[in-house]
Structure 1
């Protein structure tokens, strides 16, 4: 169980670093409780949300094509008025 928690923490840290890099100035990214948290402005959330989701999904699929764990991503606006949680499923059993 400790190995799975360590692998989960490492995967989430690596994904957070990736998303910080690809989203640059558009978002702040962190992770907590096995969830990646992406915070964007209300304007970006309202007008470019779909684009942000596609970029997140594409980046994770491209950089982590084999995932032994599911990855949950929370996208929220800075005022916490809007939020969306989605899961990117694992690709293989170990």
Structure 2
């Protein structure tokens, strides 16, 4: 995904899948046959309630982080933890 280059530098990021996770036949068909293809276009039958819930969650997490002194961190032992720890002195 687009946030992976940041993760390799130790920067945690949130990723909202917005329902394109292969959890049902329609999702699997979309990912297999249309995602990032010329036929990847919005249609009026899409249900956007799950995407709206994802956006709300991302907003709330971002707002909470912006209004605190806490820094996101990787779980102990995560492959990106070392890169994150290397930049710890640059954070205030």
Larger CA Rg, structure 1 vs 2: 2
* Larger RCO (CA under 8 A, 6+ residues apart): 2
Structure with the largest fraction of helix = 1
Structure with the largest fraction of strand = 1
| Structure 1 and Structure 2 fold alike (TM over 0.5) | no
